Amino acid sequence: VQGHRFGLESLNEHLPETKVDLMLSNKQLKLKPPIEELRTNYFKEIKSFISLPLMFKGLEGAPQIYKAMPDRNAEGIAVVFQKADELFVKLQKLQDSFAPWLVVGMMPERMQEMVDEMTDHKDFELNFRAIRAKRKEIDKIQD
């Protein structure tokens, strides 16, 4: 029972890693796969782990021991769902943090205007520094 509870509470750390791409599509920043699909798959994994004890036969045919485990671990299950919600909120915030950079991808002609407006090499240096700083910020994002 304790092992199952510990497994529940640390489940989000042990699920298989999922690759998610952030893409500009139809002038919108989108996740690939979409967040709904990510959520569905994530919660399928959680359900699979939660229902695992229900498959055990038990000692001398006493499956009720294992069938009671999900009920006994209601607090642990609540923690799992809370951590899952926090994870998807974090993912949404990460996606939203890139919204200001959409301007560059959506208006290539405006980008050319901005370049044309830069008259001094200091303008270019300042903008390149800003881009490098943003790249370092992006590199710090955890997988």
Residue written as tokens 């919660």? Answer: 43
pLDDT of residue 37: 95
Long-range contacts of 17-24 (CB under 8 A, 24+ apart): 17/143, 18/42, 20/91, 22/95, 22/98, 24/102, 24/105, 24/106
pLDDT of residue 72: 72
pLDDT of residue 97: 87
Name the band, by pLDDT with cuts 50, 70 and 90, for residue 89: very high
pLDDT of residue 1: 54
Residue 118 CB partners (closer than 8 Å, separation 6+): 124, 127
124, two tokens: 């270019």
Residue written as tokens 């370049």? Answer: 115
38 has a pLDDT exceeding 90: yes
Q: Which of 34, 35, 39 is nearest to 15 (CA)?
A: 39
pTM over 0.95: no
pLDDT of residue 92: 93
Name the band, by pLDDT with cuts 50, 70 and 90, for residue 66: low
Q: Which of 57, 75, 93 is nearest to 2 (CA)?
A: 75
96 has a pLDDT exceeding 60: yes
Is the preceding omega at residue 33 within 30 degrees of 0, hence cis?
yes
- Of 121 and 35, which is predicted with more confidence? 35
Mean pLDDT of 52-63: 69
